Chains A and B, each alone.
Chain A
Amino acid sequence: MTPERPTVFVVDDDPAMRDSLAFLIGTVGLHVEHYASAEEFLAAYDSRVPGCIVLDVRMPGLSGLELMEHLQRDRFAPPVVLITGHGDIPMSVRALKAGAFDFIEKPFSDQELLERIQQALQHDEGSRRAAYTRTEIERRQRRLTPRENQVFEAVVAGKANKVIADELSLSQKTVEVHRAHVMEKMRAESFADLVKMAVVLDATGPPQSIE
């Protein structure tokens, strides 16, 4: 993987807000790109670029919430920090329900904003790594033959070779050979590694990073 420089995408229709946010965020050495509308952002959007989005919820055209609905479909979409202008609770609740990472009410201090951006970036990095890991493990698993896949599932379920041989009507020797191939193809250095990979593949929730 080639981790690019994380970018903070500022989406706000007010030019002064946009520019001043970029200026403020830039002070902590982060790379900032800014867009005047959700449409403009989507046109330039590239999910491979890590980072986070700072988004004003009220904009003409496609609203902040609608933009988030778009992004929800993408596993690699960066987390969104919403700026709610009117500080209304219903809007904030809807923002979180729509999948915002966090929201921040105007007026906010620089400290608050920068902290939330940092948290969002960390979150993005974590989920990106998890997503990458999962993609990688899935890629390795696809190289297993159907028989090896069966053995893989039985092994991580904690079954002994003898039991597996009985269940699959194979000799114990053959099972051992399959098991060695599984370890090699999955690039597992130990049985524990293999189990961790199985956990990632089983995970139904958002991808988690594994050490």
Chain B
Amino acid sequence: MEGPVAGPGSSAQGVGASSASADDPSQPLAAHGLAPADSASHWPASQEFDLLTRRLRESEERYRMFVEHAVDAIWCIETPVPIDLTLADEEQARRWRRFGRVAECNDAFARRVGAASAAEVRGWPLRRLHGYWASAPGDAFDRLAESRYSPQDRAVLEALPDGRQRHLRVSLFGVLGPDAVQRVWIVEHDITRQVLEDKELRESRDLYEAVIRTALDGICVLDDRLHILDCNAALEQLLGGPRHRILGLDARELVVLTSSETLDGYIDALRITRGWRGRGRLQCLDGVLRDVELSVRHTPTSGGRFYCFAQDVTQEVATREAERRREDQLAHISRLSTLGEMVSGIAHELNQPLAAIVNYATGVARRLRGRGESDEELLRAIDQVANQAQRAGGIIQRMRSFAHKGDGGVVRCSLNKIVEETVGFLGLAGPGRRMQVQLALDAEPDAVLADPILVQQVLVNLIRNAEDAMEGLHLERSPRIVLRTAAAVEQGFVEVQIEDDGPGLAPEDLPRIFTPFFTTKPSGLGLGLSISASIVQSHGGRLWVTSAPAGGACFCFTLPVPFTNLLA
């Protein structure tokens, strides 16, 4: 590209700098071998003539430079005899094809036809040129003749000897004399790269279209004012409306904002950061609110466009929400139950001495009466000791029955389902957990008569204990909890086992583990196992512990099977 521009420029400079010398202007031409070095000296030394000559040379030089250094192939065809314009169009074309020779060309053309220099190519007949021009150049000359050699523009595909193809844009035009056409000039512009790029572009556009059309995510394009320009089928489904209702919508009307932030704030930020990802909620055309994971990109080109990708996560959000609620509920029940257990524990502890007081007092009263004691005041007092102790016992009894009020939830339910759900929401098998949870659930008998929430609480307690027991252990394998269900030895009961890989229980701790406020954990309250035991007992079952074959602890509890199942 530099040649044609720099060439004439630098020579003009050279001319200006050496205008005093008559020989100087010929120098650039001589250097190109276009004119004899001393040609100027044959002409009369008239100043005007010199000037004209110089101008002419400069002009010729300029054009020659353009042609020489052009990237396009430029060439000219002549026939030995100019072609008479009165001949029929076909005859003219035939003569071009038959007698046409390369009269002039530039290096670009020479390179194109595989020659070393332009000089080598001059005089070549048309048939010596490969490709398009060699194989009777189609209807190019017919067209030229038809149009009286006015400029013709055509796209040409040329097969190269090495098998490749070259796309050319070819301009032809003829130079006419009085009655004949003198020569035809041809300019060939290589557009192969452009054609290939166009093709690539088209293919990539097709690919993107296919991807967008088949994408599961809703995709749309917004203009700078956030109006929807285009969308895919997934977005129609997500928004619950047909395409024609979606196009042109203002995206601001769809997005439900959860906080005081304004959408415009986001948009302004987007223009700077170009991209944004996050959660949002859409007010859809079918009236439903949907939670979506949004990804937005902004391109400042073509007036500013926003590309939005929306994935429906309503189900996921609902599931997580339900899980969170259940965990809250469980925590709440756990707290209540802890309280209940404390009341229960206190009640039991107080009941024992109170009952003993009653026994002693009534025993004394009986013995006194048996001996014929007649001191009524003494007898009344000892009776009152018994009565008051009994009254205290009654108060405690009421307190305890209040604390145990929650046993209304006993229903017939699936034990395996409770186990599976508990494992599920504890996230034991989740990513990043080293813990292995193995379920060995017996399909029969599955139905139990129990309060599912309370049974879950027992499971949570026992599983957390197992986890804690294995924490900090450097086992070769990953720590493992096995959960089993099976028919219990005792008829009419199902047994659940929670077995861990931990170090097991110390023999000296065994008698105390179910006692309230006994704990081996640094931060434990010591109520988990006693609460669990009390829950299981309130169902009529038992909770106990044995040793696992591998040395860990194995906690077992039983729950009753519904009567109807017993009869079956």
Chain A residue nearest in CB terms to B367: A27
Q: Is the beta-carbon distance between A107 and B359 smaller than 8 angstroms?
A: no
A19 at the binding interface (Cβ < 8 Å) = yes
Q: Is the beta-carbon distance between A20 and B394 smaller than 8 angstroms?
A: no
Chain A residues near B362: list those with CB within 8 A. 24, 109-110
Residue among B344, B352, B363, B394 making CB contact with A17, cutoff 8 Å: B352
Residue among A27, A61, A94, A107 making CB contact with B355, cutoff 8 Å: A107
Q: A27-B367, A107-B397, A110-B362 are in contact. Are A94 and B356 (CB under 8 A)?
A: no
B299 at the binding interface (Cβ < 8 Å) = no
Chain B residues near A23: list those with CB within 8 A. 359-360, 363
B295 at the binding interface (Cβ < 8 Å) = no
Chain A residues near B354: list those with CB within 8 A. 107
B100 at the binding interface (Cβ < 8 Å) = no
> Whole-angstrom distance from the CB of B434 to the nearest CB of chain A?
36
Q: Which of A85-93, A143-151, A154-162, A192-200 contacts B (4 or more CB under 8 A)?
A: A85-93
Q: Is the beta-carbon distance between A24 and B348 smaller than 8 angstroms?
A: no
* Mask of A100-118 contacts with B, CB within 8 angstroms, 1/0: 0000001111100000000
A26 at the binding interface (Cβ < 8 Å) = yes
Total of A-B residue pairs, C-beta within 8 Å: 73
Chain B residue nearest in CB terms to A65: B542
Tell me the bound Cα distance from A4 to B400 in angstroms.
43
Chain A residues near B360: list those with CB within 8 A. 20, 23-24
Residue among A20, A60, A61 making CB contact with B359, cutoff 8 Å: A20
Q: Which of A23, A28, A61, A109 has the most CB of B within 10 A?
A: A23
Q: Is the beta-carbon distance between A88 and B359 smaller than 8 angstroms?
A: no
Tell me the bound Cα distance from A16 to B354 in angstroms.
10
Tell me the bound Cα distance from A23 to B362 in angstroms.
10
* Mask of B379-391 contacts with A, CB within 8 angstroms, 1/0: 0000000100010
Q: A27-B370, A88-B537 are in contact. Are A16 and B356 (CB under 8 A)?
A: yes
Tell me the bound Cα distance from A88 to B362 in angstroms.
25
Tell me the bound Cα distance from A16 to B540 in angstroms.
28
Chain B residue nearest in CB terms to A93: B540
Q: A61-B511, A85-B348 are in contact. Are A107 and B358 (CB under 8 A)?
A: yes
Tell me the bound Cα distance from A61 to B538 in angstroms.
19
B393 at the binding interface (Cβ < 8 Å) = yes
Tell me the bound Cα distance from A106 to B511 in angstroms.
24
Q: Is the beta-carbon distance between A106 and B537 smaller than 8 angstroms?
A: no
Q: Is the beta-carbon distance between A107 and B394 smaller than 8 angstroms?
A: yes
> Whole-angstrom distance from the CB of A58 to the nearest CB of chain B?
8
Residue among A19, A85, A94, A110 making CB contact with B540, cutoff 8 Å: A94
Q: Which of B353, B356, B397, B511 has the most CB of A within 10 A?
A: B356
Chain A residues near B537: list those with CB within 8 A. 86, 88, 90-91
Tell me the bound Cα distance from A159 to B355 in angstroms.
62
Q: A94-B540, A107-B394 are in contact. Are A27 and B363 (CB under 8 A)?
A: yes
Q: Is the beta-carbon distance between A109 and B390 smaller than 8 angstroms?
A: yes
Chain A residues near B367: list those with CB within 8 A. 27
> Whole-angstrom distance from the CB of B395 to the nearest CB of chain A?
11
Chain A residue nearest in CB terms to B492: A97
Q: Is the beta-carbon distance between B393 and A110 smaller than 8 angstroms?
A: no
Q: Is the beta-carbon distance between B540 and A17 smaller than 8 angstroms?
A: no
Chain A residues near B353: list those with CB within 8 A. 16
A184 at the binding interface (Cβ < 8 Å) = no
* CB-contacts of B505-537 with A (<8 A): 511, 537
Q: Is the beta-carbon distance between B538 and A60 smaller than 8 angstroms?
A: no
Size category of the binding interface on chain A: 20 to 34
* Mask of B161-192 contacts with A, CB within 8 angstroms, 1/0: 00000000000000000000000000000000
* Mask of B17-38 contacts with A, CB within 8 angstroms, 1/0: 0000000000000000000000
> Whole-angstrom distance from the CB of A5 to the nearest CB of chain B?
19
Q: A14-B352, A20-B356, A107-B397 are in contact. Are A90 and B538 (CB under 8 A)?
A: yes
B271 at the binding interface (Cβ < 8 Å) = no
* Mask of B313-348 contacts with A, CB within 8 angstroms, 1/0: 000000000000000000000000000000010001
Chain B residue nearest in CB terms to A21: B359
Chain A residues near B358: list those with CB within 8 A. 20, 107, 109-110
B539 at the binding interface (Cβ < 8 Å) = yes
Chain B residues near A94: list those with CB within 8 A. 540
Chain B residues near A24: list those with CB within 8 A. 359-360, 362-363, 366
Q: A27-B370, A85-B348, A109-B390 are in contact. Are A20 and B539 (CB under 8 A)?
A: no
Q: A16-B353, A17-B355, A87-B397 are in contact. Are A110 and B348 (CB under 8 A)?
A: no
Tell me the bound Cα distance from A27 to B359 in angstroms.
11
Q: Is the beta-carbon distance between B540 and A106 smaller than 8 angstroms?
A: no
> Whole-angstrom distance from the CB of A192 to the nearest CB of chain B?
43
> Whole-angstrom distance from the CB of A87 to the nearest CB of chain B?
7
B351 at the binding interface (Cβ < 8 Å) = yes
Q: A90-B540, A94-B540, A107-B394 are in contact. Are A17 and B366 (CB under 8 A)?
A: no
Residues of A near any B CB (own CB < 8 A): 14, 16-17, 19-21, 23-24, 26-28, 60-61, 85-88, 90-91, 93-94, 106-110
Mind listing 25 A-B residue pairs with CB under 8 Å?
A14-B352, A16-B352, A16-B353, A17-B352, A20-B355, A20-B357, A21-B359, A24-B362, A26-B363, A27-B363, A27-B367, A28-B366, A60-B511, A61-B511, A85-B351, A86-B348, A86-B400, A86-B537, A90-B537, A90-B538, A90-B560, A93-B540, A106-B393, A107-B393, A107-B397
| Closest A-B pairs by Cβ, 10 of them | A90-B540, A20-B359, A110-B362, A16-B356, A107-B393, A24-B363, A20-B356, A27-B366, A24-B359, A23-B363
Residues of B near any A CB (own CB < 8 A): 344, 348, 351-360, 362-363, 366-367, 370, 386, 390, 393-394, 397, 400, 511, 537-540, 560
- Given known contacts A90-B537, A90-B560, what 13 new A-B pairs fall within 8 Å (CB)? A17-B355, A17-B359, A19-B356, A20-B356, A20-B363, A21-B359, A61-B511, A85-B348, A85-B351, A86-B400, A107-B354, A108-B355, A110-B386
